[in-house]
């Protein structure tokens, strides 16, 4: 139990990545605050963790609303006494090209992906400093933040911004012993998220095929699942990573390391 006695807030606890990370942290002994703008995503994630013997509470919160973020942090403090780990995972995926993107949609995606991470980090870090907790803050990025992705201007831009947000926040918080690192997922195998949704009592979703065969282009020949990100999040949250801050941990099956025109042999 690497996180026994720890309290973690995870934002964006859908059955996909956030739910997988929340479950992974709980499996290592963390008490988890599952926070989502959609009440069902927060409630069902917390319920699932409690049903398996863990401790969790649900908070409905929009990460772009500072008052709601403050209320989320206050709820964690009331329920469990404070916060040791924050996983900034809430995000809006997908988008449009720079030619098509309406300003309103750009503003919303930047607000959730970038400003939401700033607000959650600000208020969780303030509580950590007040309580003298040497906590760990994790920022969920994307390989689209490392590379220029076509047709996804606000997403690619916001995720790239988060890489340097992580480094700058790590410098602000280093003297308080609070570590800030990012974790980079990539195109994610859909199966685990579909199964988790079914386990939470939802109807089975159809697998949707994209235009690109991501699996074939991944150097490891397979795509990561939420549980792989969860293991990396446990590492960054735990004392095993006590000397690591301002770092980006890519869990991307080798995607970003690849020489771009190389297509791995089958
Ligand atoms: N799925 C992928 O292939 C992939 C790849 C790379 C990175 N990521 C990143 O991983 C994270 C999770 O992705 P996912 O695939 O699980 O997506 P998802 O859409 O299943 O989950 C995102 C969650 O964030 C919540 N959310 C959205 N706006 C919010 C707000 N304003 N306040 C609070 N919660 C809000 C949603 O309700 C949802 O539960 C995102 O940051 C995403 O960018 C995903």
Ligand 1 and 62: CB distance under 6 A: yes
* 266 has pLDDT over 90: no
Q: Model confidence over 118-157: pLDDT tens digits?
A: 999 999 999 999 999 999 999 999 999 999 999 999 999 9
The tens digit of pLDDT for each residue in 169-183 reads 999 999 999 999 999
Q: Quick one: average pLDDT of 49-53?
A: 98
Q: Kindly give the distance from the C-alpha atom of residue 89 to the centroid of ligand 1, in angstroms, as a whole number.
A: 6
The rounded percent of the chain whose pLDDT value lies above 90 is 97
Q: What is the pLDDT of residue 223?
A: 97
Specify whether 155 is catalytic: yes
Q: pLDDT-based confidence at 186, cuts 50/70/90?
A: very high
- Output the pLDDT for position 210: 76
Cα 113 to ligand 1 centre (Å): 9
pLDDT attached to residue 208: 80
Ligand 1 center to 132 CA (angstroms): 30
Query: Is the shortest distance between the CB of 91 and ligand 1 below 6 Å?
Result: yes
pLDDT tens digits for range 69-99? 999 999 999 999 999 999 999 999 999 999 9
Q: How far is the CA of 128 from the centre of ligand 1 (A)?
A: 25
> Does the pLDDT value for residue 211 go beyond 80?
no
Closest residue (by CA) to atom 40 of ligand 1? 91
**For residue 38, which atom of ligand 1 is closest to its CA?**
37
Q: Residue 132's pLDDT is what?
A: 98
Judge if the beta carbon of residue 117 lies within 6 A of ligand 1. no
CA nearest neighbour of 116 among 62, 39, 163: 62
């Amino acid at each position: 139990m690497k996180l026994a006695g720890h309290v973690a807030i995870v934002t964006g606890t859908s059955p996909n990545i956030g739910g997988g990370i929340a479950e992974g942290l709980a499996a290592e002994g963390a008490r988890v605050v599952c926070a989502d703008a959609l009440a069902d995503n927060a409630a069902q994630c917390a319920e699932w963790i409690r049903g398996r013997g863990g401790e969790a509470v649900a908070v409905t919160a929009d990460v772009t609303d500072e008052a709601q973020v403050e209320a989320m942090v206050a709820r964690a403090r009331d329920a469990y006494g404070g916060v040791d780990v924050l996983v900034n995972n809430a995000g809006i995926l997908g988008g449009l090209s720079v030619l098509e993107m309406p300003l309103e949609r750009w503003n919303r995606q930047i607000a959730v992906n970038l400003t939401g991470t700033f607000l959650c980090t600000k208020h969780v870090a303030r509580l950590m400093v007040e309580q003298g907790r040497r906590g760990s803050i994790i920022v969920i990025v994307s390989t689209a933040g490392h590379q220029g992705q076509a047709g996804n201007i606000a997403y690619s831009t916001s995720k790239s911004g988060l890489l340097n947000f992580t480094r700058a926040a790590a410098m602000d918080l280093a003297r308080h012993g609070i570590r800030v690192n990012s974790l980079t997922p990539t195109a994610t195998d859909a199966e685990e998220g579909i199964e988790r949704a079914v386990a939470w009592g939802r109807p089975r979703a159809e697998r949707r095929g994209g235009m690109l065969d991501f699996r074939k282009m991944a150097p490891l020949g397979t795509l990561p699942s939420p549980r792989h990100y969860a293991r990396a999040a446990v590492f960054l949250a735990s004392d095993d990573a006590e000397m690591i801050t301002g770092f980006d941990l890519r869990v991307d099956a080798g995607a970003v390391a690849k020489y771009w025109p190389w297509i791995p042999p089958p």
